[in-house]
Amino acid sequence: MLAITTDSLAGYSLDRTFEIAKAAGLDGIEVVIRHGEFDTQNPEYLKKLSERYKLPIIALSAPIEMDATKAGKVIALAEKIGVSLVTLTPPDIFDFNYKKWLRDEAPGLRRKKKLKIALVNPPVKMMFGIFPKYAFNDVYDLREFEDIVFDTSNAIGRTEPLLEIYSILKTKIAHIHLSNTKHEQDHTLLNNGNVPLESFLARLARDKYRDALVLKFNPKSLKVGEDSKVIQHIEDSKKFIGKYFKTD
């Protein structure tokens, strides 16, 4: 399944985002919840959009600034919509309460609610040039979680090569955010950057990866606001993936 995050199309209304994703021939959509954007938090409206465009919501992505209470609300929203995967960004390195919740309570909630609560591998960012900004910054720390969202753009900048990081995490990967990185710009188009996506996609095919591939672009790369270019870039992305991710 090939999907796209609503963040990739930020600037469009949620309705237009679904419309464009459908017009581009995608199989699903990941809704990114935003503080103050109430349409992204309305289960009836989200179900209505999904039905109208015959485009399943395959995941809900929580905002970056979260805590246990807010995460619980996102999980409850996923239940109401019938979404089986929630993606969470790791907390700041000094957010001890949220770290404890992720370690101690999220696994039980995952089993009780029968949905995947997946942690995204965070980007490489430092505080004061000493501490990593995000907790679970080490790929081996991420392995303690049942489900992981592997973001190819976030993986760049680490000491380990992309395919090595993938090998370490692959048994836990439930979902992939696919994009490139070019210089200081992250989440660029698949064919515009330095991430070895060709070999990565070929490896996924060899490993018989069958979970979702989700396009996650910064809207500037996608040329949001110029509809024909947006759809063309998505179609080009589909061709790029099809060239290297060849399945039986």
> Cα dist. 233→1, 3, 26, 226 in Å?
18, 14, 12, 11
- Residue 134: half-sphere exposure toward Cβ, Cα within 13 Å: 21
Q: What is the pTM of this model?
A: 0.92
Residue 101: CB partners within 8 Å, gap ≥ 6?
Answer: 67, 68, 71
CA 24, CA 109: separation in Å to the nearest integer?
36
Nearest Cα neighbor of 109 from 65, 73, 81, 139 is 73
Over range 136-165, report the average pLDDT.
86
Rg of the chain taking only CA atoms, in angstroms? 17
What whole-number percentage of the chain has pLDDT above 90?
63
Residue-wise pLDDT for 169-202, tens only, equals 999 999 999 999 988 788 999 998 888 999 999 9
Residue-wise pLDDT for 20-52, tens only, equals 999 999 999 999 998 888 899 999 999 999 999
Lowest mean pLDDT across 35-39, 82-86, 130-134, 143-147: 130-134
Task: For each of the domains in the chain, give its residue range(s) and CATH number, in order of start.
Answer: 2-244 (3.20.20.150)
> Cα dist. 217→7, 115, 176, 177, 221 in Å?
8, 26, 13, 9, 7
Q: Is 2 helix (H, G, I), strand (E, B) or coil?
A: strand
Residue-wise pLDDT for 51-97, tens only, equals 999 999 999 998 887 888 888 899 999 999 999 999 998 888 888 89
